[in-house]
């Protein structure tokens, strides 16, 4: 189970839906980018909902999603990092956006998954997805830190002190900006979110993304 401050992120169909829709859309966008040669242009993926993390590579976004999902599904208490809080916020907002703007994707993104949905999306479900993260007692620090980038170091340090954000607390957010490879355990951590047949189709997309980065840097 995943703890954010004093709250436990619900282990239910709603959280499954948020993670599933956000992951599936990011996979499909990454696949399309590979097919059209757009991988290194405008940022895309669910984490673009968090301004500071807009530049995180899509394959890394998916690896982070799998890691947070695994914590959510764990029988043990797992305290959320600032990255985990970012992921929870971003998947909820992404899933709500998909159902508001392109509801026809709901069926194609959910019909083959481990959890089945009978009803079609409606305004109530969109509201519930956003409520999922709004009811958690985090302070939204992941939305504040992008403001530090426009400040001089002294002023930024003062703001960090004012909001009680230590360098150790923020460091993972900065570190992930320079990461390009997905974690080796990503596939295993997608358990419960995708079935085995889906992973056979989806995981090569991550492998190709990492291979493309290696070739670009060679």
Domain extent listing, the chain: 2-211
Exposed, middle or buried, 28 (CB in 10 Å: 0-12/13-18/19+)? middle
Single pTM value for the model: 0.90
pLDDT at site 154: 65
Q: Taking the chain (218 residues) in consecutive chunks of 10 residues, what is each chunk's mean pLDDT? A: 92 96 96 81 91 94 98 95 95 95 91 87 90 84 73 63 74 90 95 96 92 50
Indicate the helix (H) or strand (E) that contains 4: strand 2-4
pLDDT at site 152: 58
pLDDT at site 218: 40
pLDDT at site 215: 43
pLDDT at site 162: 67
DSSP 122: -
What are the helix (H) ranges across 74-166?
A: 82-101, 105-110, 123-134, 141-144, 153-162
């Amino acid at each position: 189970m995943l703890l954010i401050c004093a709250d436990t992120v619900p282990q239910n169909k709603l959280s499954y839906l948020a993670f599933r829709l956000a992951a599936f859309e990011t996979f499909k966008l990454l696949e399309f980018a590979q097919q059209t040669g757009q991988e290194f242009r405008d940022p895309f993926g669910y984490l673009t909902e968090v301004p500071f993390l807009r530049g995180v590579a899509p394959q890394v976004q998916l690896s982070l999603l799998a890691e947070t999902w695994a914590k959510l599904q764990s029988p043990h208490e797992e305290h959320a990092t600032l990255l985990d809080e970012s992921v929870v916020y971003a998947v909820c907002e992404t899933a709500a956006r998909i159902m508001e703007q392109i509801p026809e994707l709901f069926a194609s993104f959910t019909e083959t998954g481990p959890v089945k949905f009978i009803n079609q999306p409606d305004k109530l479900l969109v509201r519930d997805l956003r409520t999922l993260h709004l009811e958690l007692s985090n302070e939204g620090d992941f939305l504040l830190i992008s403001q530090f980038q426009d400040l001089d170091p002294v002023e930024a340090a003062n703001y960090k002190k004012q909001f009680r954000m230590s360098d150790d607390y923020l460091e993972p957010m900065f570190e992930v900006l320079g990461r390009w490879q997905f974690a080796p355990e990503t596939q295993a951590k997608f358990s419960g979110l995708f079935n085995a047949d889906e992973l056979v189709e989806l995981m090569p997309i991550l492998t190709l993304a990492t291979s493309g980065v290696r070739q670009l840097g060679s």
